[in-house]
Amino acid sequence: MPKKLLKNINFPSDIRKLSVNDLPLLAKELREFIIDVVATKEGHLGASLGVVELTIALHYLYDTPTDQLVWDVGHQAYGHKILTGRKNSFHTNRQYGGISGFPKRSESEYDTFGVGHSSTSISAALGMAIASKLQGSSKQHIAIIGDASIASGMAFEALNHAGDTNANLLVILNDNAIGIDPSVGALKDYLTRIKSTRSDIEQHNIFEALNFDYSGPIDGHNFEELLLELNRLKQVQGPKFLHIITTKGKGLLQAEQNQVKYHAPGKFDKISGDVLPKEKSKFTKFQDVFGKTIVELAYQNTKIVGITPAMLSGSSLNNLLNKFPERTFDVGIAEQHAVTLAAGMATQGIVPFCTIYSTFLQRAYDQIIHDVALQNLPVIFCLDRAGLVGEDGATHHGVFDLAYLSCIPNLIIFAPRNEVELRNIMYTAQLGLKKPIAIRYPRGVGKLEKWQLPFEKIVIGKGICIKKGSKIAILSVGTIADNVSEAINSLDENKAIAHYDMRFVKPLDKELLNTIFNFFNIIVTIEDGTVKGGFGVAVLEYASSINYKGSIKILGIPDVFVDHGTVAQLQKDCFIDVLSIQKIIKQLL
């Protein structure tokens, strides 16, 4: 009977007691453990399977946590978590109250830097390495980054700086030719050439040109090669670069063959690897409403293009790619470039839909202000994953967009209540708006079975009354209106409650607000964005400007970073679920 190793491994110090010959067996067991848990609990599968040997080798050779590992994004850090004291709690990964799906400093001393967005690892590890040198420490600092993330501008900025220092930094490029979607761009093509021929390496390459001690490419699944080269690099001073080749999804055949699907496949059969069928919903995901609608509009308007920073499948822009590949642009993990590219296109009369997750648009804030809004260019921002997104947690919740966008002049901000509203605002935006517009919508499905209705133009800056009432007015934006309607309709006192969908956070419908202020003494605003600086504050500011004497209560995401859990659990924590809204209404009545 083969010996079991993983059951006796709780920390890296336990790995270091093993012989080198034991490491392949540990890798096999670690893969099986990851597959076993993720099959039932869900999570990011393929990336972690691809770096099992690398993870073990790093903890085997380096004195972690004194020597510090920084994982880029963190999709690939499950093996790291299991080997650093969290094996017995790994089944709680991404669950409410459980461990985070990403490295998190407050969770473990082995998580040296909190991550979730891409391309931060080299900057962080360089900062650590410089600090260590300043303090006379000889500890090692290692950044592990993928070929999709290293193409980002921030990673290049860090490489450029690191090559001009003598910092004790090792950058490991985990090259598997895919991020969430297949990697794109000229750097990807260059790395492909390096892998296929040694001629580039023998002469010179881009990383050596940046003053890195370059080695590779080597097989990232071969312990002998990994340990030999990592041991050598431990003795080399200054910035070093190790290029390893891995297979995303290694060890699970389906995950190797369908790397996009198995990035985060949901529940699957751990033996066969087949993804378990989900109960088919009669409703449509908002991202798919966007994806199908932009194709419809593109047939009507030949000036429409779609732009996304590495989120083709996640945003459903792949629908446009399939029909109009020459009008679809995946620019890689380059949010700043995506926004300014859209701005440049807009100056030439093109109608750019810049499709990006709300949390990732934060990375291009200056470009929104300086390149788009300041010049009043009609870029259409479609912000997927707005509001609470669930198990990905604090790094991915799109709760700041209403606040960080509403202070920008010239920018229209719209939050559709349902799928039809999303279609109609997309239709309206491409008709010839003279200003930029941000349209934000949530992750997940809507509530309408029939949403592909004839397009109707939306009047910019106009809200609507959903339900009339006599005592309290509730003002909402976006799909949180569903919670409000459900809360009101199940109350005995529902005739006392009016509900307005303001739709536009900017410009506010001041005419409608004046009507509401003149009739109601109690007003509640509700949003699935932060209460600091968001929709409610905009209403409060206008109320103050006209000397409104009634009371205004603001509901939304509190001034904290919200952890991971289901959207329903997190809405309850933030008091914007149906029962919490009912309780607040009763108190006000």
Which of the residues are catalytic? 248, 335, 363
Phi, psi of 343 (to 5 degrees): -60, -45
DSSP secondary structure of 439-504: EEEESSB-S-S---PPP-PPPTT--EEEE--SSEEEEE-GGGHHHHHHHHHTSTTGGGEEEEE--E
Strand 437-442 relative to strand 464-467, pairing: unpaired
Phi, psi of 82 (to 5 degrees): -65, -35
Per the rule left: phi > 0, alpha: psi between -120 and 50, beta: everything else, 97 is: left
Q: Measured between alpha carbons, how far is 488 from 242 in angstroms, rounded to an integer?
A: 60
The vertex-145 CA angle with 139 and 149, nearest 5°, equals 145
Q: Which helix (H) or strand (E) holds 144?
A: strand 141-146
* Residue 554 β-bridge partners: 525
Write down how long the chain is. Answer: 589
Q: Which helix (H) or strand (E) holds 203?
A: helix 199-203
Distance of CA 506 to the CA centre of its chain: 25
CA torsion angle for 28, 32, 35, 36 (degrees, to 10)?
Answer: -170
The vertex-270 CA angle with 269 and 274, nearest 5°, equals 40
The residues, any chain, with a CB within 8 Å of residue 516's CB and separated by 6 or more, are 473, 475, 498, 500, 523
Give the closest residue to 170 by CA, choosing from 197, 151, 142, 146: 142
DSSP secondary structure of 277-324: PPPPPSS-BHHHHHHHHHHHHHHH-TTEEEEESS-HHHHTTHHHHHH-
Burial class (CB in 10 A: 0-12, 13-18, 19+), 164: exposed
Q: Which residues of 49-86 are buried (b: 16+ CB within 10 A; e: fewer)?
A: bbbbbbbbbbbbbbebbebbbbbbbbbbbbbbbbbbeb
* Residue 413 β-bridge partners: 438, 506
Q: Is the dihedral of CA 504, 505, 511, 513 positive or negative?
A: positive
How many Cα atoms sit within 13 Å of 112 on the Cβ side? 25
Start-to-end C-alpha separation, the chain: 70
Helix (H, G, I), strand (E, B) or coil at 70: strand
Helix (H, G, I), strand (E, B) or coil at 378: coil
Q: Measured between alpha carbons, how far is 333 from 355 in angstroms, rounded to an integer?
A: 13
